[in-house]
Amino acid sequence: MSRCVDCGKENEGFICAHCLAKRASKIGKGAKKVGGFILAAAPAVITLIVTKGKGNPKA
């Protein structure tokens, strides 16, 4: 049997199911934060693109 690279418990593979779930959760939470930032910034970016070359944006 091999040991998990994260917690060191003996298991059948390279990483145990518990540590794999923790990693997936962290990735999901990070993606959710990035997605929220993109949604929050989208109106400002779209306004800049639409008003490009038309003087100062009034948004």
Which candidate, 25, 29, 23, 31, places its Cα nearest to that of 5? 23
Residue indicated by tokens 């400002």: 44
* pLDDT score, position 54: 63
Instruction: Burial-class residue 19 by CB neighbours within 10 Å (0-12, 13-18, 19+).
Output: middle
| Domain coordinates in residue numbering, the chain | 2-50
* pLDDT score, position 53: 60
Q: pTM for the whole thing?
A: 0.49
CB-side neighbour CA atoms (13 Å) of 22: 7
Count other C-beta atoms under 10 Å from residue 16's C-beta: 20
Q: What's the average model confidence in pLDDT over 33-39?
A: 82
